[in-house]
Amino acid sequence: METKIPMPTLRPWIADVTLMRPDRHLPLVHLPDVTTALVYRRTGPRGGDLHVVGPRSRASYHPGKELPMCIRARLRPGAARSVFGAPAGELRDRAVPLAELWGERAARLEQRLNELTGLDSVLRGIEDTLLTCVHRDADPRDLLLREAVASLSAPGERVAALARRLSVSERHLRDLFTGQVGLTPKRFARIQRLRTVLAGAGSAQWAALAVDTGYYDQSHLTADFRTLMGLSPTAFHAGRLPTPTPCPT
């Protein structure tokens, strides 16, 4: 079960903040994701840890677990480097302790959050920390990246056409995405398209979803779904998931 939590002061840099309630009886499903996230897990009355989860190029499935509290703050694509001090490409398909990036600063933050007793106070602690990291000064590359991210998050425009419209080379666009987002533009677009399909699954037929989201046809959707999710759309929707593997964190 997941609950979205508003955090208006961070809206320019945060895609969403979610309170997650894992269930040990249900597998953990990590969908492909274009974002980098900060995750705080409360593991006991005064214990917890902070991890950075990079962009995920494919889905993964893990055994269920129960935690007293689990908060995930997903940064908008391109914000990871200014917050964590590491290129997003170095974090792709990885989950690393925040201490690997921040050192002693992360240890102090963990201790502070672990001493707090309520959800609201923990959220304020995370919010205050992120606000000290984000950059408010406009950068021409940021403006270009935002335009490209918005375009490739919607079906229709191809990478080559986008590069021409933005008056940059495809190579420049690829280097920008790889360094700032952690994914190539084509992989980014594929993941965003797949997440649109997942959001619409159950309310429309697969063939209609394929057309609406820019696939050539249902077979194209099914093939891409298998590549990114590891199973067919029908099997996923029916809950026939791959065998869970231990979570790296």
pLDDT at 135: 67
What pLDDT does residue 45 have?
A: 82
pLDDT along the chain (249 residues), means of 10: 88 92 89 97 90 96 91 94 90 96 95 93 95 73 91 90 95 94 96 94 84 92 96 93 81
**pLDDT score for 46:** 83
* pLDDT for position 48: 93
Q: What pLDDT does 231 receive?
A: 95
Per-residue confidence (pLDDT) for residue 138, from 0 to 100:
57
Query: What is residue 137's predicted lDDT score, i.e. its pLDDT?
Result: 57
pTM: 0.92
CB-count exposure of residue 120 (10 Å: 0-12, 13-18, 19+): exposed
- Residue by residue, what is the 3-state secondary structure of the chain? CEEEECCHHHCCCEEEEEEECCCCCCCEEECCECCCEEEEEEEECCEEEEEEECCECCCEEECCCCCCEEEEEEECCCCHHHHHCCCHHHHCCCEEECHHHHCHHHHHHHHHHHHCCCHHHHHHHHHHHHHCCCCCCCCHHHHHHHHHHHHHCCCCCCHHHHHHHCCCCHHHHHHHHHHHCCCCHHHHHHHHHHHHHHHHECCECHHHHHHHCCCCCHHHHHHHHHHHHCCCHHHHHCCCCCCCCCCCC
156-174: pLDDT as tens digits = 889 999 999 999 999 999 9
pLDDT of 97 reads 97
